[in-house]
Amino acid sequence: MLTLFAFLITLALLIVVHEYGHYRMARACGVKVLRFSIGFGKSIWHWQSPNSGTEFVLSAIPLGGYVKMLDEREEQVPPNERHLAFNTQPLRSRVAIVAAGPLANLLLACILYALVNWLGAQTPAPLLAKPEAGSLAQAVGIQGGERVVRAALDEDVLQEVASFDDLRWLLAQGVLSGQRLQLEVIPATGQGQQVFTLQLAQLQATTVDTTTLQKIGLVAPFTRPLIGQVMPAGAAEKAGLRTGDLVQQVGLVKVVDGQQLRKIIRASVLAGESSSIWKVNRAGVELELPVKPEAVEEDGVLVGKIGAYVGDLPEMVLVQYGLLDGLWLGVQRTWNTSMLTLSMTWRMLTGEASLKNLSGPLSIADYAGKSADLGLISFLQFLALISVSLGVFNLLPLPVLDGGHLMYYLWEYITGSPVSDAWMNSLQRWGIAILLFMMVISLFNDVTRLFG
């Protein structure tokens, strides 16, 4: 139920803002708006403004919306209202009206990101876990436990890193743009500072997923290798482990963080180990305990389990900004997300990235529900991301989208005459075909991702 409610809220907000952008700009340019509709199909509610004459409609299929303006190309216009028709407006006015919808979505994203910055969020601190074996982070000498204080891409000025989310965002930008990432860190000892450079271009990655992060070596924030709740009759209880034990070593391997410890436990069965000596610290007392993980089948693969929660919660920090800083960071985040979206779209068009990255309404509904379940801040961040995606997508030079109409107006500006009706109809048909193809691919990806 939460997923459905969050999805409807998402659709309603983004569609209303987009169409309201068109509506307000049309009114500002002196164009008569006949209908403002949220959704398509049969009308289930309507109201007509006595002042402007605009009919506001809520329709049965809430997967979009439209603003219908007075236009001689669609119906006969009385001579006394010809100056109110869209098609009679100067080019600059038509460009402004068409662009206002996507720009309204981008403005909404700025406000939502700024709101997140103003409200503040508890988020994991920028502490590095022990890197994956063979990863970029391990290759440059990162040990685990380091705290990132500043970072930058390529030759950019080092900027403060307030949270692990900030670091993950920089990683995403660096991977998709093929840049290197500089990390200024304080070692786990707390003494001095070090600078590490991750050559992200070496990965030649086209998307940022768990596999990419594993190759980088920075999948999740640092957590202490602490034993949590111990289950009755499990391997942990049989070995004498207790809640609160801090694991320092497993066999000959020094344990740095919880993520590393979980991997050691899972891999112990495949390694054929019967048991190993664990060195633990229990309230200041060092103990050695023989622990034998149990073999459990997961997705057809045998993995080791000890019957206890492994790993402490990550250290959390409150990230919050003042009025101007929060607003400026919101604008920056919207711009950077827009550029990443364009980059990813271009990679998919050129075949550098898989079309599996396309998401449709089912995935959006799923993510809406999950983000809402995590709280207001997560839901606001999700709304901002989808608003950016919608704004950028509508600005693409694809016929039937706002960007396609802007492409027509660019042609009109260059040549001095509008695109002919024949060309317009042909391009619209191609645009519809491409859009349908993208919808089919995204729905297929949704079904595969959620039910595969």
Q: How far, in Å, are 86, 409, 413, 423 from residue 92 at the CA level? A: 12, 9, 10, 22
Catalytic residue among 19, 132, 146, 184: 19
First to last CA, the chain: 22
CA nearest 365: which of 357, 376, 373, 354? 373
Name residue 151's beta-bridge partners: 159, 183
Annotated catalytic residue 81: no
d(Cα 164, Cα 187) in Å, to the nearest integer? 16
Please state, in angstroms and rounded to a whole number, the distance separating the CA atoms of residues 103 and 192.
46
Helices and strands (DSSP H and E) totals, the chain: 12, 16
What single-letter DSSP state applies at residue 369? H
Helices (H), 221-298: 235-239, 258-268
**Gap between the Cα atoms of 410 and 412, Å rounded:** 5
- Cα gap 401→18, rounded to integer Å: 12
Catalytic positions: 19
